Structure 1
């Protein structure tokens, strides 16, 4: 029976994985998805080709890892505020969404997809299916839970989630794709979240019994 890997070996493997993902992201952005080979990724990451192929046998698998890790939040891209206080829950989600959108690499990931999707539509599907939709669905499920708890009057949680996240991303994230120096201050982003929450409360809070 094979022995379990030691803490040291797990740490080394994780460090190599991180180096591979970071190198691939940089090369995809610089040279394009099509012109980036796994051999180039291995060279930039400082790992052997065998190490890279063991973790990521194809370029598609490597891109899937980039997307999954970019959208990952503390080990799980699941939104889990306790229902019962719509304002508190939405504020928590909104602040977390700002942190997600402004984390290193998120803008680069979208730029890669936008540049390459006309030739490689599967990249768009990967970004949508493994990144955006799991996160979006977790917000929708939270809103459904608030409705079930009687604290929100929401007929269409999907639409409500789109409205809330859109109010935040339209200021915090989308200008970054065109304006390289777009970096609003923390208090400005906090205000955007607060205003988005206020709009949602005005529209969706359940009337008092």
Structure 2
């Protein structure tokens, strides 16, 4: 007799996990990380405490899961690493994918939670950095290194190049949203921002 959970039970577990993470994100934003208890999250998610503790043994583990989920690309899985050989096409694909990531529902809320609570809970900032930003950043750095190896780009420091590219996009797409609640640039304007960032990278690093 198999002990593996059935597809139905796996689906139910996934649904409960998603409900827990959604409820936790809303409560973290509303009452802060410190002011939100696992018991309240369970109540808001409509699950038992036993179910929540089975999924997440600590509040920190739950927050880590939220960060990892938000930084995971929504389509295709993995992090974007186009095949090298065409710097403009590759950077454009990465740039537009980064826009999709930064504008997905909840990303701004996640940043606000981290910024508000990091002075008292520095582990939240570390989770955002280590589990979210750095894996994505590393994928962009690897792509740029592959372009350099292919002879389509020239630079000495891949970290600097990746930081510059992602920073040019985030400065228009993400950071104004942190302060301006009505900041909602059109898709066309964000694509223009990506195109300008790509043109800048080509001018500086294109071989």
- TM (norm. structure 2) is 0.97
Aligned to 2:143: 142
Aligned to 1:197: 198
Alignment of 1:43-192 (within 5 A): 43-73=43-73, 74=75, 76-192=77-193
Q: 1:23 to 1:75 in 2, by over 3 A?
A: farther
- TM (norm. structure 1) is 0.96
Q: Distance in 2 between matches of 1:54 and 1:93?
A: 36
Q: Is the 8 A contact 1:77 1:134 kept in 2?
A: no
Aligned to 2:10: 10
Q: Distance in 2 between matches of 1:24 and 1:92?
A: 32
Q: 1:4 to 1:75 in 2, by over 3 A?
A: farther
Aligned to 2:40: 40
Moved more, 2-11 or 115-124: 2-11
Q: Is the 8 A contact 2:81 2:142 kept in 1?
A: no
Aligned-residue offset at 1:79: 2.0
- The structure 1 segments of at least 4 consecutive aligned residues displaced by more than 6 Å after TM superposition are none
- SS of the aligned residue for 1:155 comes to coil
Segments of structure 2 that go 5 or more residues without pairing to the other structure are none
Q: Distance in 2 between matches of 1:144 and 1:94?
A: 16
Aligned to 1:31: 31
Segments of structure 1 that go 5 or more residues without pairing to the other structure are none
Q: Distance in 1 between matches of 2:161 and 2:108?
A: 24
Q: Distance in 2 between matches of 1:14 and 1:75?
A: 19
Q: Is the 8 A contact 1:71 1:77 kept in 2?
A: no
Aligned-residue offset at 1:35: 1.0
- 1:20 and 2:20 correspond: yes
- SS of the aligned residue for 2:185 comes to coil
- SS of the aligned residue for 1:65 comes to helix
